Chain A
Amino acid sequence: MTEQGNGNARAARGVPIESVRPHQFVGQRLRRKEDARLVSGKGRYLADLVVPGMRHAAVLRSPVPHGRIAEFDASEALALPGVDAVFTGRDLIGKVGPFVEGGRLEISPMLMEKVHPEVKPHAMPVLAADDVHFVGQPVAVVVAASRYLAEDALDLVRVDYEELPVVTDPEAALAPGAPVLHGHLGDNVAAHFVIASGDVDAELGSAPHVYRGRFEVGRQASNAMEPRGVLATSDRGTGDLTVWCTNARPHLVRTFLSEMLRMPLDRIRVISPDMGGSFGTGVFSEDFLIPFVARQLGRPVRWVEDRSENLLVTRHGRDQVHLVEVGYDDDGRILALKDRFLVDAGAYNQYAITVSYNAAAHARNQFDIPAVRLEGLNVLTNKAPVAPVRGAGRPEVTFMMDRIVDIVAHETGIDPVDCRRRNLVRPEQMPYHADIPYRDGVDIVYDRADFPAQLAQLCDLVDYGAFRKEQAEARRRGRRLGIGFSSYMEGSGFGPHEGAVVRVDTNGHVTVYTGANAHGQGLATTLAQVCADQLGVTPEDVTVRMGDTSYIPYGVGTFASRSAVTAGTATGVAAGLVREKALAIAAEVLEVSSSDLELEEGTVKVRGTPSRQISLGEVARAAAPGPRSRLPAGMDPVLEAEHYYVPPTVTWSSGTHAAVVEVDEETGFVRVLRYLTVDDCGQMLNPTIVEGQVHGGVALGLGEALTEEVIYDAAGQPLTGTYMDYLLPTTTETPPITVAHQVFPSEVNPFGIKGCGEGGAVGPPAAVANAIVDALRPLDVRISRVPIHPERLLELIEEAKAEAAQDGRPSARS
Chain B
Amino acid sequence: MEVNGEQRSGSVEPRTTLADFLRDELGLTGTHLGCEHGVCGACTVLLDGHSVRSCLMLAVQADGCSLRTVEGLAAEGGQLHPIQEAFSAEHGLQCGFCTPGFLMSTVELLNEVPEPSEEQIRSHLSGNLCRCTGYHHIVKAVLRAAEVIRGDVAARQA
Contacts and interface: CB of A to CB of B under 8 A. Distances in A.
A48 interface: yes
B129 A32 contact: no
A41 B40 contact: no
A447 B40 CA distance: 40
Using C-beta atoms within 8 Å of the partner chain, give the interface range for chain A: 35 or more
A277 B132 contact: yes
Contact of A692 (B73, B91, B99): B91
B50 interface: no
Contacts of A47: 23, 29, 32-33
Contacts of A689: 91
A276 interface: yes
Interface in B1-41: 13, 15-16, 23, 28-37, 39-40
A409 B70 CA distance: 53
A48 B15 CA distance: 21
Given A40-B30, A519-B95, A737 B37 contact: no
25 contacts: A31-B89, A31-B91, A35-B87, A45-B29, A225-B34, A225-B42, A225-B95, A225-B98, A226-B32, A226-B34, A227-B33, A279-B131, A307-B40, A519-B95, A692-B132, A695-B137, A697-B134, A699-B134, A699-B135, A730-B128, A731-B128, A732-B122, A734-B135, A737-B134, A737-B136
Contact of A731 (B23, B40, B139): B139
B138 interface: yes
Contacts of A723: 35, 37, 39-40, 129
B35 A696 contact: no
Contact of B29 (A41, A223, A225, A699): A41
Given A276-B97, A520-B95, A696-B134, 4 more contacts: A276-B96, A699-B135, A723-B40, A731-B139
B135 A34 contact: no
A45 B134 contact: no
B30 A41 contact: yes
Contact of A728 (B15, B37, B69, B131): B131
A700 B129 CA distance: 12
Contact of A35 (B15, B74, B93, B125): B93
A522 interface: yes
Contact of B95 (A226, A688, A722, A724): A226
Given A225-B42, A225-B98, A226-B95, A730 B37 contact: no
Q: Is the interface of A mostly helix, strand, loop or mixed?
A: loop
B132 to A, nearest CB: 5
Interface in A669-718: 688-689, 691-692, 694-700
B117 interface: no
A760 B131 CA distance: 13
Contacts of A39: 70, 80, 84, 87-88, 93, 96, 99, 103
B80 A224 contact: no
Interface of A: 31-32, 34-36, 38-43, 45, 47-48, 148, 223-227, 274-277, 279, 306-307, 519-522, 688-689, 691-692, 694-700, 722-724, 728, 730-732, 734, 736-737, 760
Interface residues of B, number: 56
Nearest to B93: A38
Contacts of A35: 87-88, 93, 96
A520 B134 contact: no
Contacts, number: 172
A677 to B, nearest CB: 11
Contacts of A736: 118, 136, 139
A736 B143 CA distance: 14
A700 B96 contact: no
B152 interface: no
B97 A277 contact: yes
Contact of B96 (A38, A696, A722, A734): A38
B38 to A, nearest CB: 9
B133 to A, nearest CB: 5
Nearest to B78: A40
Contacts of A696: 94, 131-134
B130 interface: yes
B97 A226 contact: yes
B71 interface: yes
A307 B132 contact: no
Interface in B80-125: 80, 84, 87-89, 91, 93-100, 103, 118, 121-123, 125
Q: Which one of A225, A697, A734 has the highest number of Cβ atoms from chain B below 10 Å of its Cβ? A: A225
Nearest to B36: A306
B94 A225 contact: no
B66 interface: no
Given A224-B95, A520-B94, A732 B30 contact: no
Nearest to B89: A31
A698 B128 CA distance: 18
A148 B73 contact: no
B78 to A, nearest CB: 8
A692 B33 contact: no
